[in-house]
Chain A
Amino acid sequence: MDSINIIQVTNLTKQFNGFTAVDNISFAVEQGEVFAFLGPNGAGKTTTIKMLTTLLRPTSGEMRLNGFNPLSEQDEVRRSFGIVFQDPSLDDNLTAMENMEFHGVLYKVPKETRRTRIEQLLKLVDLWDRRGDLVKQFSGGMKRRLEIARGLLHHPKLFFLDEPTLGLDPQTRNHIWGYIKDLNKQEGITVFFTTHYMEEAERMADRIAIIDHGKIIIAGTSEALKQQTKTTSLEEAFLALTGSTIRKEEASSTDRMRMVRRMWTRR
């Protein structure tokens, strides 16, 4: 039965200097699913994604992604997924086209396929007309759309989106979810996303897992979550499960750098 689970995580744990960021979690994502991974800030969402995407080594536990082990079969795992990071990872001093080309070369997509696929994807996210413009002239929403197009260039089976709609207006958010839903339907791509917008998760996700303090506290369909908590919306269910206190979080070095970056860049 393992073959239909594109992600299989068993007893995964990550500790940083004695602090347990991810605490013995297990879950599975089926091929073709849209899976929402929710939780308050600092709950362990991004850490989990980093371990699945080979950026971080777990302290203990087992992972399988598209049947491959992220620790010992890194390249196979890397070819299997596309990702949109929480922080933009485009090169601002390159054009949209060049960013796409670079990705294609890094993933060794043959030139002919690359050209047609780039055109198809840039048209999909409505950026084909802006392909020759430097990315630094793009708005936040345009950058996100470009990152989505880029992440799909090498035909991944699984797409990670870490807060893809953070800071975007409702129109752009709507568009972005439109593309993602289409891709999920047409190409059968499995989507694994995090978000703080509960209505997005409720609307888009086939299944939802909620993580808090490094532990998965519940998983299932949005309906099931609401039933179990006897609430009428996912937001209420989320608050019922994770409590309404605001999380104390110490600023990490990344947060400090993010601040400096905001001060130095206009957008």
Chain B
Amino acid sequence: MSTVYILWLRQLKRYFRSRPRILGALGQPLLFLVALGFGFGPIYQKAGGGNYIQFLAPGIIAMGILFTSVFSGMEIIWDRQFGFLKETLVAPIPRLAIMLGQTLGGATVATIQGMIVFVISLVVGFRPESLTLIVLAPLFMFMIALLFAALGTAIASAMEDMQGFQLIMNFLIMPTFFLSGALFPLQGLSNIIGIIASVDPLSYGVDGLRAVLLNNAHFGIPTDLLVLSVVAAIFLAVGSYFFSKIQI
């Protein structure tokens, strides 16, 4: 337990000490909110969708969490060759504890990042509609963060170096974001895109956030929570397996 805690604490300390990283990671969500939110706003309104910023904000919060958590998981690639991870791998502690500490730390950091994006979205004009359901928002943020931090850990444990990083970004993380319904409603989509969106775990995270922030769900809160929990559990198991197999 103390191992998990100390590794978690380390991630938080690192996060709060690297202000450039916090600011850097906020640039993209802010750009998306402003450019897409105000750019597509009028068309979305004309098409009868209502206020686009309202619709978009939960998706962008999810995006901030997605990128932060995947990156923190993938930091392991560096860390195991040139960092603290190597020191933990020769310590008399179970690999599972290291993996959990690392993943939980990354997930916590990503959740905080999600909260900051939420605050930014308030500044840009987002207004949550349900003040009772909003207490569930951090839960959904953490579920998204945990799921993708575990995915990042799994990928990083199976990868040798940063060579495959672009591949992962362009063929896994970007599609996960763009096809999740973060930017467009899932109702009335053509078959293929609809099917892809329904197997994209981020769709359920975005939907959950929309449910608790706007009272407007496509799948519904129970389904969202169930899917997120199951997929997170699977990724954690896969991540632990690959992590236990790491040889330097």
Contact = CB atoms under 8 A, between A and B. Distances in A.
B89 A257 contact: no
Interface string A117-135: 0000000000000000010
Interface residues of B, number: 28
Nearest to A79: B92
Nearest to A104: B6
A107 B17 contact: no
A166 to B, nearest CB: 14
Given A55-B89, A91-B14, A257 B248 contact: no
User: Most B CB atoms within 10 A — which of A83, A91, A94, A103?
Assistant: A91
Contacts, number: 84
Given A98-B13, A253-B163, A257-B161, A106 B91 contact: yes
Contacts of B90: 53-55, 78, 81, 83
B247 interface: yes
A57 B86 contact: no
B6 A106 contact: yes
Contacts of B191: none
Interface in B59-95: 78, 81-93
A93 B6 CA distance: 15
Nearest to B87: A89
Interface residues of A, number: 37
A75 interface: yes
Interface of B: 2-3, 6, 10, 13-14, 17-18, 78, 81-93, 160-163, 247-248
6 contacts: A90-B83, A91-B10, A103-B91, A106-B3, A108-B2, A253-B160
The 6 closest A-B pairs by CB, nearest first: A253-B161, A75-B92, A78-B92, A106-B91, A91-B84, A89-B86
